[in-house]
Structure 1
Amino acid sequence: MPEQTCVFSTLHGDMEAIIKDALNTITFKAAGKGGGGCINEGEAYFTDTGTVFVKQNRKSQARLMFDGELESLKNIAATNTVRVPQPIVVLDNPRGGSVLVLEYVDMKTLSKFSKQLGQQLARLHLHNSELKTKASQGFVGQEENVSYVEKFGFHVTTCCGYIPLENEWCGDWPTFFARNRLDHQVRLVEKNCGDPEVRELWSELQLKIPKFFEGLDIQPALLHGDLWGGNIAETATGPVIFDPASFYGHHEFELGIARMFGGFSQAFYDAYFDVIPKAPGFETRNKLYQLFNYLNHWNHFGAGYRNQSLSIMKALLK
């Protein structure tokens, strides 16, 4: 999700020693390349075996957040569809919080490989269904590192921003999305803001949720989960995505936040829909998926996202 840039806070000596021990490296020197936002901070370091990127967060829930990101990256990487930074390890910070150590990837703004990203993202979204087909045909491929997942959710908690997602497994997508995504966010808004209008609108909208998915055969797809323009880039050889909040869900969910903040070219969308064509009702469901992200931003950044959230709810009720 979009974040404002913050100044990186240098690792202290104790944390450096812990990382050096975990990586079995003598060399651990700042490379002068940083990044991050107001949720996490990060910087690249030279080691004996190459350059790594270290993200850190001093909050108590940082371990939960980074463990979820590590599992997200591992699962996406295992599909061999779209590149992500290879995760290495999550470590506790003795002064509070945790760090996540990743492969350092030299990235720049996505431009040349937009079409390729669209194709690769679609392949990621189809990967789980293809595993099901191969299993039904008795095919066992040596290249497969993951098994077919038949429900919606994820095996660990992931965080979109710093808010933990409810990833308990569910066999029905409309139920999972209504309960584990929208209702969860609405309850947080009520708790944090005491806004009665959002609950009133949600009490009506939740009854209508199944209608948005009538006639669809929704198969669980492994998602990045937070694919806005700031979490995509490219290297000299192809696209890369990062900072995921993965779970198995409806593939269309991925394009909700993508459309909210821009950063994706028409070539990206054309390539994606060439592989996975739009299903009837796509535009309405895209608004529904944007609603989750607006509510999530409301819970992160305050009432500046209130009007957009309520406007979408009212539009979906018409």
Structure 2
Amino acid sequence: MNTFDLSPLRPRLPSPLEPVEDERFARRGLTLLLKRDDLIHPDLPGNKWRKLALNLREADGRPVLTFGGAYSNHLRATAAAGRLLGFPTIGVVRGDELAGRPLNPSLARCAADGMRLEFVDRATYRAKSDPATLAALLERAPAETYVVPEGGSNALAVHGCVELGRELAGAADVVAVACGTGGTLAGLAAGLSPGQRALGIPVLKGGFLGTEIRALQEAAFGGARGDWALDERFHCGGYARTGPALEAFARDFEARHGLAIERLYVAKMLHGLVTLAEEGAFPAGTRLAAVVTGAPEPPPEGS
């Protein structure tokens, strides 16, 4: 059993569960709670800690290679973990056209934390799970490099997210979470108690996520676990897309509650939850918990 020490990171667990007074829910007899996973760790916030922790123990200090887009929170969290715990990191980034451009703030943070960035064309990135493609990437990596999939979602990550559900036992009837690769929802649903259900709000379009979540639960547990569903209406056209309506919603939520809202995941999930409440999707008396899976990216230095 690997005993790689993660204690220097000092995560804040369990994360706080905070009630929120919002008349859009209150007038329908609903209670809104925010599960503040964004406060777990300043550099590995939210589901990034939960999905990475068991993978880092498995890597046991070896170099870690992983995947993400130009604005990947997962790449940033992996790079930060490497800096804090002293292991090398390699980030395979979607889009070889980015190689000759100045790094955006997200990728610049990865590089500052010591991550070696490798930009690949989109066809190669789509084939990243193909054994031959992965072998070619690993040829350029140090020996015994440990591979973490895109978004950190694998069976270990799913097991790491089970604790999120357990922390919410008895506290909510419905737990909503934004979904990218599906690992958080797969584990969350498994950790909830009977009578509780998980609601996933995908931030990518395509309708593929249900299949991915079922496959992750099969890999982690040998079969389906928990009561979960997806509402695919709130992706705003795809990953990293927002638009004026979502921006207006996020600014309004921030003004109401004094909480900075991350746009690509958290704002879409909260917008979905408010819309569903207004549609009458939840009976009066329902306790809703919204998982805040990350914090907004800090502004560039000097801005």
Q: Please, what TM-score do these two structures have when normalized by structure 1?
A: 0.26
Bigger Cα Rg: 1
> Taking CA–CA contacts closer than 8 Å with sequence separation of 6 or more, which of the two structures ends up with the larger relative contact order?
2
- Would you tell me which structure has more helix in proportion to its own residues? 1
